[in-house]
Amino acid sequence: MNRKDFITAFIGSTFAFKLSDTFASKSPIFEGMFTLAPLPYANDALEPHIDKMTMEIHHDRHHKAYVDNLNKAIAGTDMEKLSINQLLKDISKYPVAVRNNGGGHWNHTFFWQIMSPNAGGRDAAQMPSGKLADAITASFGSFDNMKAEFAKAATTRFGSGWAWLIVTSDKKLKIVSTANQDNPLMDIATDKGTPVLALDVWEHAYYLKYQNKRADYITAFWNVVNWKNASENFEKAMK
C-alpha cells in the first residue's frame, strides 16, 4: 500500500459510523461525526397530508443545516467522541450551538421515523393497538382524548417547538411540549422522559401547505402517524 492509499484508508476509517441504540436498529442516529440519513420514504409519500415541497425543504435543507452546524460545533473537541444521546443527556454542559443543532438533529431523525404513508387515519388497523393502546386509554380515557390533549399542546406552543407523547421515569404516558429544538431527553427539560411520538410545530414544517393554520396541520398529522414504530418506542421505554 503506497502513502496515498494509506492516507485514504486512514481517513475512511476515521469517519466510520456506528449505529446508536437510540431507537430501533433501523433508525439513523450515529456516534462520532453525524450524518444526514435519507428519508425512509419518498418526498411525496405523505401527500396530501404533508406536501412534497415541504418534505424536500424540511429534510434536505433544515435537517441538513442542523447536522452540518452540529458537526462544526463539536469539531476538534471531546464532544466528537459522544453519541447524540450522550450529548443530549448532559446538554447543559455544552455550548448553545450543540443544544440547538444536536436537538434539531435528534428531533428530526425521530420525526421522520414516526411517520409513514397511509399509516394513521381512523381505520382500526391504522390506530395504536396492544400495550400502547391500553396505556393511552388508561392515561387519557380514550384515544380521542389523547389526540385532543396532544393537539392542545401542539397548538398552544408559542412560537417554534415540538409536541411530545413521552414515557416518564415512573413509566407513565404524558403529553408535553418543548421550545425550539429542545426535547424531553435533555437534562434541561422541564418534563423529562422517553419520546414515543412527536410533532414538529415550527412553521417550516407546515407553512407552504397550511400557511398559519397550524390546527389543520395537526389534524392532518394523524393520517401519517406510524403506530407500529410508536408502539416499539413505547415498549422499549417501558423496559
Per-residue tens of pLDDT for the chain, all 239 residues: 443 343 333 333 333 333 333 333 333 344 458 999 999 999 999 999 999 999 999 999 999 999 999 999 999 999 999 999 999 999 999 999 999 999 999 999 999 999 999 765 555 457 898 999 999 999 999 999 999 999 999 999 999 999 999 999 999 999 999 999 999 999 999 999 999 999 999 999 999 999 999 999 999 999 999 999 999 999 999 99
Listed by start position, the domains of the chain span 124-237
Question: What pLDDT is recorded for position 7?
Answer: 35
- Which of 171, 198, 206 has its CA nearest to residue 23? 198
Question: What pLDDT is recorded for position 8?
Answer: 39
Classify domain 124-237 at the CATH class level.
Answer: alpha beta
Please state the φ and ψ torsions of residue 197, each to the nearest 5 degrees.
Answer: -145, 150
Question: What pLDDT is recorded for position 122?
Answer: 52
The residue to which cell 411525496 is assigned = 44
pTM for this model (two decimals): 0.85
Question: What pLDDT is recorded for position 23?
Answer: 36
Burial 167-179 (b: 16+ CB within 10 A, else e): beeeeebbbbbbe
Question: What pLDDT is recorded for position 11?
Answer: 34
Question: What pLDDT is recorded for position 143?
Answer: 95
- Which of 27, 236, 223 has its CA nearest to residue 131? 236
Question: What pLDDT is recorded for position 120?
Answer: 57
The x, y and z cell numbers of residue 223, run together, are 393520517
**Rounded Cα distance, 220 and 86, in Å:** 33
Question: What pLDDT is recorded for position 33?
Answer: 86
Question: What pLDDT is recorded for position 18?
Answer: 30
